[in-house]
Structure 1
């Protein structure tokens, strides 16, 4: 990653944050919770730009401009809303499960090789 890429990424992130700050308060609160949730359990690609997060801001801007409350946009189960957004994405939980499975399989293989 070049210096120019880093600078461009920072500019894009600042513009994204400015869009979030322009949202009504209820939307900002829910956005921050969605952001926290996605950073904890979300897709591996989440750190590659702001695509998913920008899409959420787009959706929120549309909802706010049409006079809807944020929970009318997301539904009352915000975590389920997030899960639906990332259902086809590889998550950190998936990576962790793969690592655990590999370790168990390797340990089992070693145990069976020793018993032969």
Structure 2
């Protein structure tokens, strides 16, 4: 990866466009599952989203394999796509940006309360 591509994010744009081409070849239920997966995984993203690219690639590969085996997305992913995404992102312990912000806010409030209390 070139430095300029990393700075501008053009490598991510190329990867995302390749994902879109692959998703376009999927059946409708698999495309709908892909939309749900990307929506749920976005909360686990870092600032750039670069950490999600391998996870998304794996999830899309799974959808492609199940489509080739003529399985429905629901058979493979089940009804709990949000839980599936949490497992992909590192389980329930997987921390998203909201969790990090919440923890930082709690630390700051606790620090201010200590300062006010003495």
Shorter-chain TM band: 0.7 to 0.9
Q: TM-score, normalised by structure 1?
A: 0.82
For the aligned residue pairs, the C-alpha RMSD in angstroms reads 2.1
Q: Which of these two proteins has the greater Rg computed from alpha carbons? A: 1
Bigger mean CA deviation after superposition, 80-89 or 25-34: 80-89
| Distance (Å, rounded) in 2 between the aligned partners of 1:22 and 1:35 | 17
Work out the CA distance in 2 between the residues paired with 1:43 and 1:2.
Answer: 21
1 CA distance for matches of 2:45 and 2:5? 25
Deviations for 1:26-49, whole angstroms, at most 9, x for unmatched residues? 00011111111222x224277016
Structure 1, residues 45-74: CA drift from partner, whole Å, max 9, x if none?
A: 770162111111001011111111001111
Q: 5+ unaligned residues in a row in structure 2: which ranges?
A: none
Of 71, 75, 84, the match for 2:74: 71
Q: Does 1:44 align with 2:49?
A: no
Runs of 5+ in structure 1 lacking a partner?
Answer: none
Kindly indicate whether residue 115 of structure 2 is the aligned counterpart of residue 110 of structure 1. yes
Q: How many residues align?
A: 112
